């Protein structure tokens, strides 16, 4: 486990410290309210659902984090990036899957209990000022670029326009019709699965960071729609036939097989919707009572952040391959030198290959340095 400062953390010591100093009772109303406030202001409901985490308490610049899978590297990286903005560290505590699901269900009930005005409350100004994550694009700030010579600016703008045109031409255009926003939630539940999915997709594609969550319950299903972390509506008590029908239509929409899955599957697809580029991230996973799914829509600053992270990862992979090629070439060079029968043609070929690999390594390092700068 890594702390927010990317330093190793003693998991056992962290748990012992948490349990000895902080008592968490998930059935206690005050503890639940504290969790709900942290979900509202620090770690969004969708992030808690996706990474299977819960923020228990934030005290003395230390977050107590409940995790279903304490060794989940992607979850730890996500939380550490957020905590780095507010100069906090993290200690973790393992929780059961049932407890995690129970608390998130209670959170949804809590959000639905209050009036819409309370649902729209803004987080404290101090926290808004300190927290900037791709989960809430309204908190992101675009800083102006450094001054450049006019020719460089024009050339850069031209490259961006050409790249944008090429990418847009290669992207899938989503044929999702505009939703009937005036249709009551109760009426949506009566639609056939395909039409119901179209209505839900139209809603989730029309806002900021939209999400759909298909939750399977013992005898019924529930579909949650949120926008920028704020719950917009919930379809409750759906017959399992309708719920499974919507899930199957979602699989078809993402070109996934309709067969029941036994392990989580995730796909990402960049598309164009109403002349805007969006990224669709679909995850289908087995739940306690059967298949469930989440669909996340990224656009704007959140999409740009995702693309930069992807570029940084690819650049690191390419750098590793380039370095491995360089090491192998050095090994080949040493073995050929020991061969007294090396011809002049082989010697020239080896020299040319060394120059090519050296230049390749330099160019890859330049690209990697640029991508690392963009990813920060």
Give residue 18's pLDDT. 37
- Which range, 27-31, 73-77, 179-183, 309-313, is most confident? 73-77
Select from 83, 106, 90, 113 the least CA-distant residue to 31. Answer: 106
Return d(Cα 266, Cα 296) in angstroms, integer: 11
57-66, 79-88, 107-116: least confidently modelled range: 107-116
- Residue that wins the pLDDT comparison between 161 and 133: 161
Give residue 372's pLDDT. 54
Per DSSP, the three-state class of 88 is: coil
- Residue that wins the pLDDT comparison between 275 and 18: 275
- Residue that wins the pLDDT comparison between 55 and 175: 55
Contacts of the segment 94-99: beta carbons below 8 A, 24+ positions apart: 94/15, 94/66, 94/67, 94/68, 94/70, 95/54, 95/66, 95/67, 95/68, 96/68, 97/52, 97/68, 97/288, 98/288, 99/26, 99/66
- Residue that wins the pLDDT comparison between 85 and 237: 237
73-82, 123-132, 302-311: least confidently modelled range: 123-132
Give residue 124's pLDDT. 47
Domain ranges of the chain: 11-130, 185-298, 302-375
| Cβ contacts of 126 within 8 Å, gap of 6 or more | none
| CATH fold of 185-298 | Beta-Lactamase (3.30.450)
> Burial letters for 295-317: b for 16+ Cβ neighbours within 10 Å, e otherwise?
bbbbbbbbbbbbbbeebbeebee
Q: How confident is the model at residue 240 (pLDDT cuts 50, 70, 90)?
A: very high
Give residue 365's pLDDT. 75
Whether the pLDDT of residue 5 is over 80: the answer is no
């Amino acid at each position: 486990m890594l702390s927010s400062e990317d330093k190793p953390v003693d998991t056992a010591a962290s748990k012992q410290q948490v349990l000895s100093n902080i008592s968490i009772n998930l059935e206690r109303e005050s503890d639940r309210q504290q969790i709900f406030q942290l979900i509202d202001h620090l770690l969004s409901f969708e992030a808690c659902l996706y990474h299977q985490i819960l923020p228990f308490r934030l005290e003395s610049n230390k977050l107590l984090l409940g995790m279903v899978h304490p060794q989940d590297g992607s979850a730890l990286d996500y939380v550490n990036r957020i905590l780095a903005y507010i100069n906090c560290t993290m200690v973790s505590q393992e929780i059961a899957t049932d407890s995690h699901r129970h608390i998130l269900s209670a959170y949804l009930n809590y959000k639905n209990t209050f009036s819409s005005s309370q649902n729209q409350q803004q987080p404290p100004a101090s926290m808004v000022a300190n927290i900037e994550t791709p989960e809430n694009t309204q908190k992101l700030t675009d800083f102006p670029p450094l001054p450049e010579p006019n020719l460089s600016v024009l050339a850069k703008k031209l490259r961006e326009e050409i790249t944008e045109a090429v990418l847009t031409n290669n992207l899938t255009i989503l044929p999702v019709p505009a939703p009937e926003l005036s249709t009551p939630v109760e009426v949506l539940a009566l639609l056939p699965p395909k039409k119901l999915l179209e209505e839900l997709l139209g809603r989730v594609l029309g806002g900021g960071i939209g999400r759909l969550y298909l939750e399977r319950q013992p005898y019924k299903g529930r579909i949650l729609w949120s926008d920028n972390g704020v719950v917009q509506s919930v379809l409750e008590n759906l017959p399992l036939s309708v719920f499974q029908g919507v899930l199957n239509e979602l699989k078809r929409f993402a070109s996934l097989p309709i067969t029941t899955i036994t392990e989580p599957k995730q796909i990402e697809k960049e598309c164009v919707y109403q002349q805007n580029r969006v990224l669709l991230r679909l995850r289908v996973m087995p739940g306690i009572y059967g298949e469930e799914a989440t669909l996340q829509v990224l656009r704007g600053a959140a999409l740009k952040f995702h693309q930069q992270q992807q570029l940084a990862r690819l650049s690191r992979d390419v750098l590793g391959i380039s370095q491995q090629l360089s090491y192998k070439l050095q090994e080949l060079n040493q073995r050929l030198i020991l061969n007294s029968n090396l011809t002049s043609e082989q010697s020239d070929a080896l020299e040319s290959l060394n120059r090519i690999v050296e230049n390749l390594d330099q160019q890859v390092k330049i690209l990697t340095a640029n991508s690392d700068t963009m990813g920060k």
